[in-house]
Amino acid sequence: MCGGASIFRPMVSGRVLCISAGMLAPKKADNPVGRSHLYLNFGLLGLASVLASDGFDPVVVHGGFVTPEDFIRDLVERVTLSEEPLILLSIPSSFSLPWARRGVEALRRLVPAARIVVGGRWVVADDEPWIRSRLPDVDVFARGVAEGYIVDIARGDSLGRRTRRRVPSIPELDYRLLEGMECFNPSLEVSRGCGMGCAFCAEAREPLGGMKPPRRLVAEMARLIEVYGTASIRPYLEASLFRPTSAWVGELGEALEASGVHLPWRTETRVDTMPPDLIPGLARAGLRILDLGLESGSPAQLRRMRKTTRPDVYLRRASSLLEACRREGVWVKVNILVHPGETLDTVAQTRAWLEEHRSAIKGVSVGPTILFRYGRASAALLAEFESHGASVVDRFALDRDGFAHLHPSRSISHDAAVELSNEISRSMMSARDYYDLKSFGYLPRQSSWDDFRQIVVGCPGGNFSFRLEGLG
């Protein structure tokens, strides 16, 4: 079963417990569809993979939407822990912070001698005093990416003395370490970093690294098929900025042909960095869904986001890319932000742009920009947002919760922004479109259209972000 029941192997002494913090409620509407999402923490799985190759015995579990106290109690009851077990807790987003806080309290109560190490670079950032104030019972906080020193942590070396180990910067993910593996559609990391400087992203200044060589990627796909025992998997190729060259696409095609591997996959990129002429080759190599961070169809808003200094060129490129995807049968999901400075006019511009490209868009993800606390960078970002006319809904939220909702401008309140986001979403996406997109990477692997349909039909008033049509 997916999302709760145990397939746990008996715990042996010295096993490293790697917990991905869950969430108390979904980020958007709290309904059964939101709660059926599985958020694979491949960053944590990568750390477990490094530990396993160094002789440790890690296991990765996901809190999902289970109440933290129940989750931890169940975990402690069904596993045999060593006397002073090492527990790695990963906090993938600020939305997981309340779960993590209660989870740590439960761990301290039930396993007082545990050594609890917390990481998750988007939340821990560069501000240990703050994260310690949120999670006082934790022993060690780890910053940044951790493949280089996770083994030292597991050995009990102090972080101050840590030595940088020589591990590949992107480890191969060992899905056998993931509890409930069969429920998750796997991810494969192809590159790290972005560095494009967008106002709302913490990776704005993380430089883009090189892409994984195609031969290595294909070998990993082949091993995934072997581990899952089936080719009916739909991997997400993870990269904050997926930017292949034509040589890379050509080599990928050759490597796939030579190995006989053929898997449909999904990835995410920017509209202005992916040349449309690469789409036919990528489609032949299995690209089925492309997530595009368009963010807005309004030139003024694109400038405010620092997405581009030439919105006309940016939007023209976006049109050509969408057209290339449409021609090749690649589904496009467009991400849109209702951002500081937004007015009803700028929203109308975005809606008109989406309408014009409707035939090339399978679905959208729309939401108001959220201000995430990212260490010392947050104050400057808030000042920038305020200069566009935005204000925070609750001035204590940023320090208390690690994120703050915004009123985008005097003319659009936060509630109005949520409502506008839902309207745009519903106008662009049917229940079937939503399912088709989500069944690639977010819903449990075995979840069929019929299962999904029944969940939706069984939840009248679910405030879904898609049109309730075609549900039978």
Which residues are at the interface with ligand B12 (CB under 6 A)? 23, 27, 39-44, 46-47, 88-90, 92-96, 117-123, 142, 145-147, 150, 153, 201-203, 238, 240, 372, 403
**Least CB distance from residue 208 to ligand B12, whole Å?**
11
Between 40 and 114, CB nearer to ligand B12: 40
Between 93 and 343, CB nearer to ligand B12: 93
Contacts of 122 by beta carbon, 8 Å cutoff, 6+ apart: 92, 93, 94, 202, 372, 374
* Residue whose pair of structure tokens reads 């869950």 in the numeric block: 22
**Could you tell me the two tokens for 62?**
């996901």
**Least CB distance from residue 25 to ligand B12, whole Å?**
11
Between 196 and 431, CB nearer to ligand B12: 196
Buried b (16+ CB within 10 A) or exposed e, 435-448: bbbbbbbbbbbebe
Between 27 and 303, CB nearer to ligand B12: 27
**Least CB distance from residue 12 to ligand B12, whole Å?**
20
Residues 370, 382: Cα–Cα separation, whole Å: 10
Give the up-direction half-sphere exposure of residue 328: CA atoms within 13 A in the CB hemisphere. 24
Between 335 and 413, CB nearer to ligand B12: 335
Between 115 and 326, CB nearer to ligand B12: 115
**Least CB distance from residue 219 to ligand B12, whole Å?**
20
Residue 121, φ and ψ in degrees, nearest 5: -65, -20
Between 148 and 280, CB nearer to ligand B12: 148
Angle at 432 between CA 429 and CA 436, to 5 degrees: 95
Residues 325, 28: Cα–Cα separation, whole Å: 28
Residues 68, 103: Cα–Cα separation, whole Å: 5
Polymer length in residues for the chain: 472
**Could you tell me the two tokens for 101?**
């806080």
**Least CB distance from residue 404 to ligand B12, whole Å?**
11
**Least CB distance from residue 417 to ligand B12, whole Å?**
15
**Least CB distance from residue 212 to ligand B12, whole Å?**
13
**Least CB distance from residue 153 to ligand B12, whole Å?**
6
3-state secondary structure of 375: coil
* Listed residue (58, 117, 70, 68) closest to 96, CA to CA: 68
* Residue whose pair of structure tokens reads 């996406």 in the numeric block: 429
Between 88 and 354, CB nearer to ligand B12: 88
Residue 334, φ and ψ in degrees, nearest 5: -105, 130
